[in-house]
Amino acid sequence: MLENRRILLIVAGGIAAVKVPDLIRRLRERGAHVRCILTKGGAQFVTPLTLAALSGDKCYQELFDLKDESEMGHIRLSREADIILVAPATADIMAKMVAGMADDLATTALLATDKPVMIAPSMNVMMWTHPATQSNLQILKTREVKVVGPSAGDLACGEVGNGRMAEVPEIIAALTRFFQKNDGQGPLTGYKALVTSGPTHEPIDPVRYIANRSSGKQGHAVAAALAELGAQVTLVSGPTHEADPDGVNVVHVETAKQMMKACNDALPAEIVVCAAAVADWSPENAKQKMKKEAGKTPALTLAENPDILATLSQPGPARPNLVVGFAAETENLIENAKTKRAKKNCDWIVANDVSPGSGAFGGDNNTVHLVTADGVESWPTLRKRAVAERLAERIAASFQRHL
Ligand code: C5P
């Protein structure tokens, strides 16, 4: 997939620049052409000679290099690339990209390009979590900039946390997926997928509601992973703090009934993944704010909500080929998941332990078991994004088998 792809690699000033020689080597092994721009900061960590030797091309550094400008200006650098990869992408270069600054060759090339851009952020955890960087990240995402990493772990500054540049294989995988998708060649290209995510809010009156602790992290990650594999994804999401994933059609809803309607509107689809924590009941809500009256506690009358997973799994000509549910359980995980799979008539159940201490609700990790007609697969504890990628790969493989 990377054969003959032209990658303009911008190396900014972060310690992760030391991973770049290996990245170039691996890209060239796969037949990619790599041309490097090295920023002043980047040159503190890796030499232009190393990059030139490994890429087999000149390493570009200066904006106003008369010879380069006549032979190879910044415009031509970007024109002759299929993608621009910024690795490592520092907080500084991300901020400059957002602001549209062009004070060196790297930022000028980034501003002057109409080519796809991918960044591999790398920085101290405080810089990464700073609202300025997070807001820049969101802006870059809205401009279709692809983002790979960062991951959590030991940082060069001695702190531990999110901010490590994605590892070389992860960057290669992201580039591969990008080109696959670009060529309309993902394993799920041509398939429609519907994913539900997040909690629902069930109003008691105009200002109060019943909710649950679902963060939407797992469902959103599943939607993103299916889209990465080429599926055309509609994500029906309850209220969450998660950003809309790249390349996914997101429908925002609040209540279970709205979620049911949005799902029906999104059909037909070959793949359905119900990851939302849908409220089982909704109160018969008051039109006006309920007033507090001394000595009186109001009774809530609850009505059953539609079971979206069970509804979408009903047999019929329009039933999606593969319906996957989640089972969040605090005890007898696998047994309950098997029962749920049969009761709801779905094809697979992803069972996860949400007992207090598991960290699954709201956390970044998940320990899951995949329950199918063939049996139970127990996966190791993984980041929710990795669970989503693995699930998407399994879904793709199941469709490949039926081709
Ligand atoms: O029955 P329970 O809530 O444990 O089942 C969980 C699974 O069913 C999840 O996949 C969830 O998205 C789905 N579900 C649903 N609609 C409901 C309740 C649960 O789609 N009303």
Decide if 242 contacts 216 (C-beta within 8 A). yes
Nearest C-alpha neighbor of 327 from the set 293, 352, 292: 352
Judge if the beta carbon of residue 350 lies within 6 A of ligand 1: no
What's the CA angle centered on 82, arms 182 and 171, to 5 degrees?
75
| Residues 52 and 35: beta-carbon distance below 8 Å | no
The predicted model scores a pTM of 0.64
Q: How far is the CA of 328 from the centre of ligand 1 (A)?
A: 9
Contact indicator for 266, 250 with CB cutoff of 8 Å: no
pLDDT of residue 403: 47
Specify the ligand 1 atom closest to the Cα of 312. 20
Torsional class of 367: left (φ above 0), alpha (ψ -120 to 50), beta (otherwise): beta
| Domain over 187-401 is classified CATH 3.40.50.10300 | yes
Q: Is 345 left (phi over 0), alpha (psi -120 to 50) or beta?
A: left
The rounded Å distance from CA 198 to ligand 1 centre is 11
- pLDDT for 330 equals 83
Terminal Cα-to-Cα distance of the chain (whole angstroms)? 22
Q: Which two tokens mark 181?
A: 């998708």
Q: By C-alpha distance, which of 286, 343, 292 is closest to 314?
A: 343
Question: In the chain, where are the structural domains located?
Answer: 6-182, 187-401
The length of the chain in residues reads 403
Specify the pLDDT at position 402.
53
- pLDDT in the model for residue 68: 59
* Helix (H) or strand (E) segment spanning residue 34: strand 33-38
Question: What pLDDT is stored for residue 69 in this prediction?
Answer: 59
Running along the chain, 403 residues long, what does each successive block of 10 average in pLDDT?
Answer: 95 96 97 97 97 96 67 79 98 98 94 96 94 96 93 71 88 89 84 97 95 94 94 97 94 98 97 97 88 90 97 95 94 93 97 78 84 93 91 91 53
Would you state the structure tokens that stand for residue 167, as one six-digit string?
């590892």
Query: 133: closest CA among 107, 96, 100?
Result: 96
Q: Which residue has the tokens 């609040």?
A: 254
Q: Hey, what are 148's tokens?
A: 């790979």
Expressed in angstroms and rounded, the spacing between residue 134 Cα and the centre of ligand 1 is: 32
The closest-lying atom of ligand 1 relative to the alpha carbon of residue 306 is 21
Please identify every residue annotated as catalytic: 157
- Which residue has tokens 């989640």? 326
263 lines ligand 1 (CB under 6 A): no
Q: How far is the CA of 393 from the centre of ligand 1 (A)?
A: 23
| Two domains, one topology: 6-182 and 187-401 | yes
Residue 75, pLDDT score: 82
Element (H, E) at 329: strand 322-329
Cα-based angle 248, 217, 284 (whole degrees, multiple of 5): 95
- 118, β-bridge pairs: 85, 146
- Cα torsion angle, 44, 48, 50, 56, sign: positive
Superfamily of domain 6-182 in CATH is: Flavin prenyltransferase-like (3.40.50.1950)
The answer, yes or no, to whether any atom of ligand 1 lies below 6 A from the CB of 196, is yes
Best of 263, 272, 308 for a ligand 1 pocket test (most atoms within 8 Å of beta carbon): 308
Q: Please indicate whether residue 274, judged by its CB atom, sits closer than 6 Å to ligand 1.
A: yes
Helix (H) or strand (E) holding 89: strand 83-89
